[in-house]
Chain A
Amino acid sequence: MNNEELFEKYVSATLSEAECESLKVLLRDDPRAARDFACYVDETALMVSVAEESQQQQVPEGSANNRTRRPQKRRESALRLAIKVFVPLAAMLVIGAYVLVDYVQNQKAIGEVAVAVQVERNGAIVTLEEKQLVYFDDKVSSSTDGGRLKLLDGSTVTLSKGATCQVSKSTHGFEVSLKNGRGEFEVSSQKNGKSFIVMTPLLRTTVIGTHFTVDADDKTSRVRVLEGLVKVDDLKNEAHFVEPGELAVIEKGGVLSKKNAQKAMGLAPYLCNAQGEDCDVEYLESKNYIVLLYAQKWDPSSRSFVLQLMEFYKKFPGDYEVIFMDAEGDFSVKYKMPWLCVKDGMEEEVAKLLGPNPATYPLNLVILDQEGKVLKQAAKGSKWHGTDSLLLNLKKL
């Protein structure tokens, strides 16, 4: 056996024990052969890499026809051809049209429903219940309470209310096209070089084994990672790796950027609206500044400042959100505060995250960045700096 045959056996993983020993001797003792071997193996790797790319380019990714192409058949023997034609025909006669249709539909299946969804199929809207199959050409929308799909690889896609998506399956893995709304993805470990991709009109997220959410509409797309790591790109040149606690955002016509969502989102479980009800707090992650309001209803200056702040908040909305830090009593309800409030009994947890009121005054206003760093405060200890300059700062945000 010459050297090249030995190299070929290595790359095709068919070395016998004796051949393995011969190869080791060659690599140890013959530098020239060792170099030839390295070139041969590298060349094979390059060939596979390039051939795979060429094949991907020939068949568009995500298309229904993107399966391993059948090699040409024109040289098949007549007998083989006859058998191939005869067997499906016989099967059709025996099993019947119903089973065949069912089979074809199973081939189209990308997974099943875990929580009821609505799908647009063949021009009609149908509601699919738990365990019913979803096909790759179905346009899936969440029902009134959201919906969930379990894909064939075990990954789950949870759609929030009003979200729509389409899932396609190819030899390269799953691709979810999220048209609008929010999707939460728990992706199973992708094996054998397969990938899991989520497309929005503005960005592409390539999953490296993870749990993350994607929000999309015509103007903005956001990706937030809960576990693992994803790669996000803007379908052009800009790409970022996003980790837990980070957020990738792109606005139409803008540049893909990454920011830290950890501090703001760490507060999410402890916040509610002025009436003490649970509400959407995830928009906090896209705000660069958080304004903490400490105020007491019994304090006249607190009451008058809250009214002033409410007017300001309405007139100058910006890249900030106010959080009222005192949950006791009915101050937020009576004044119908339009911002977020700390839930009753959660003050200690919030203080652990952000620290207690830094002032001895009943009224204080603190501006934080997304990292939780204090940028400005109306009072610190027993020193009062006033709220006017803070409002001026907020106006600029």
Chain B
Amino acid sequence: MQETKREEILRTALNDQHILTCYAYSLLQDWGLAKDAYQEMLITASSKWESYKAGNLSAWLRVILKRKAFDMMKSRKKSISFADEELFSLVDKNINSLYEEKGHEYHERKRDAMKSCMKNLRQESLEILLAFYKDRVSCESLAQKLGKTVNSIWLTLSRSRKVLRKCALEKLANDELS
């Protein structure tokens, strides 16, 4: 019975990997750190599973993840938003209420929609998005690498975001209708 409970926790953590990593990214603004925090959370959830009593398992996992992210924030105060604990709590509160309101299923559908929309993006735009948001390459460095102006990199980023957002929302609306 207890083994089943532990398995259930780990399975939920595994199934919710995307949403949990996204949550950690929201707090840490760094994809690599977000993935590290998720892994640390897995280890803690695996060893402290007995402290989970009942209720919203995803929320319990997010609490562990928040603590891990907070520890990382404390140890790597590399930017203003990293150093600010009040901002960290405010962001956590707002992201949590969004997840509670929309739920895991909506997040997964949005992810699927985004995935499908991503196929319409040009390869270059995709690479700029990844380099900027995931690898933290500055617009200046990207501009230099690609032989473009900083402004055109900004434009590409904001245009790609707009296209993706519009396309994903349309897809979600169509899905709901059908």
- In contact, B94 and A35 (Cβ under 8 angstroms): yes
Partner of B43, one of A34, A68, A229: A229
A208 and B133 in contact (CB under 8 A), knowing A72-B124, A80-B147?
Answer: no
Is B176 an interface residue, CB under 8 A from the partner? no
- In contact, A193 and B35 (Cβ under 8 angstroms): yes
Partner of A42, one of B39, B98, B148: B98
- In contact, A20 and B80 (Cβ under 8 angstroms): yes
* 1/0 contact string of A13-48 vs chain B (CB within 8 Å): 111110110011001100000110111011111111
Q: How far is the CB of B44 from chain A (nearest CB, A)?
A: 10
Which A residues lie within 8 Å of B128 (CB)?
71
* 1/0 contact string of B120-132 vs chain A (CB within 8 Å): 0001101111111
A381→B80 CA distance, assembly (Å): 72
A53→B21 CA distance, assembly (Å): 13
Q: How far is the CB of B132 from chain A (nearest CB, A)?
A: 7
Partner of A47, one of B21, B32, B90, B164: B164
Closest chain B residue to A5, Cβ basis: B158
Is B118 an interface residue, CB under 8 A from the partner? yes
A41 and B36 in contact (CB under 8 A), knowing A71-B145, A73-B147, A228-B43?
Answer: no
Is B25 an interface residue, CB under 8 A from the partner? yes
Is B170 an interface residue, CB under 8 A from the partner? no
Is B58 an interface residue, CB under 8 A from the partner? no
Is A102 an interface residue, CB under 8 A from the partner? no
* 1/0 contact string of A186-210 vs chain B (CB within 8 Å): 0000111110000000000000110
- In contact, B147 and A27 (Cβ under 8 angstroms): no
Is B71 an interface residue, CB under 8 A from the partner? no
A141→B157 CA distance, assembly (Å): 48
- In contact, A52 and B31 (Cβ under 8 angstroms): yes
- In contact, B114 and A27 (Cβ under 8 angstroms): no
- In contact, B80 and A15 (Cβ under 8 angstroms): yes
Is A382 an interface residue, CB under 8 A from the partner? no
Q: How far is the CB of A226 from chain B (nearest CB, A)?
A: 15
A191→B40 CA distance, assembly (Å): 11
- In contact, A12 and B29 (Cβ under 8 angstroms): yes
- In contact, A76 and B147 (Cβ under 8 angstroms): yes
Which B residues lie within 8 Å of A71 (CB)?
124, 127-128, 131, 142, 145-146
Is A304 an interface residue, CB under 8 A from the partner? no
Partner of A48, one of B90, B123, B134: B134
Is A396 an interface residue, CB under 8 A from the partner? no
Q: Which of A14, A15, A47, A69 has the most CB of B within 10 A?
A: A47
Which A residues lie within 8 Å of B97 (CB)?
38
- In contact, B133 and A11 (Cβ under 8 angstroms): yes
Is B64 an interface residue, CB under 8 A from the partner? no
A39→B99 CA distance, assembly (Å): 10
Is A122 an interface residue, CB under 8 A from the partner? no
Which B residues lie within 8 Å of A209 (CB)?
39, 43
Which B residues lie within 8 Å of A42 (CB)?
22, 26, 95, 98, 107
State the interface size on chain B (CB cutoff 8 A). Answer: 64
A191→B32 CA distance, assembly (Å): 7
- In contact, B133 and A12 (Cβ under 8 angstroms): yes
A13 and B31 in contact (CB under 8 A), knowing A27-B91, A42-B22, A43-B165?
Answer: no
Closest chain A residue to B35, Cβ basis: A193
- Tell me if B's interface is mostly helix, strand, loop or mixed: helix
A243→B35 CA distance, assembly (Å): 20
A71→B148 CA distance, assembly (Å): 11
Partner of A52, one of B90, B134, B142, B164: B134
Partner of A49, one of B22, B91, B146: B22
A43→B95 CA distance, assembly (Å): 11
Is B104 an interface residue, CB under 8 A from the partner? no
Which A residues lie within 8 Å of B81 (CB)?
10, 13, 15, 20, 23
A28→B90 CA distance, assembly (Å): 7
- In contact, B147 and A13 (Cβ under 8 angstroms): no
A48→B135 CA distance, assembly (Å): 10
- In contact, B39 and A52 (Cβ under 8 angstroms): no
Is B14 an interface residue, CB under 8 A from the partner? yes
A16→B133 CA distance, assembly (Å): 18
Closest chain B residue to A75, Cβ basis: B147
Partner of B133, one of A20, A48, A76: A48
Closest chain A residue to B135, Cβ basis: A68
Which A residues lie within 8 Å of B98 (CB)?
35, 38-39, 42
Partner of B21, one of A14, A38, A45, A190: A45
- In contact, B79 and A49 (Cβ under 8 angstroms): no
Partner of A45, one of B25, B32, B36, B127: B25
A229→B9 CA distance, assembly (Å): 15
- In contact, B129 and A77 (Cβ under 8 angstroms): no
- In contact, A54 and B118 (Cβ under 8 angstroms): yes
A-B contact pairs, 23 of them (CB 8 A): A10-B91, A11-B133, A13-B29, A13-B78, A23-B81, A27-B87, A37-B91, A38-B97, A45-B25, A45-B26, A46-B114, A48-B129, A48-B133, A49-B22, A50-B111, A50-B115, A54-B126, A68-B135, A71-B145, A194-B32, A229-B42, A229-B43, A229-B46
A-B complex: 5 closest residue pairs judged by Cβ atoms:
A193-B35, A192-B32, A45-B22, A38-B98, A45-B25
User: What 5 new A-B contacts, CB under 8 Å, besides A76-B147, A193-B32?
Assistant: A12-B132, A45-B25, A49-B21, A68-B135, A231-B14
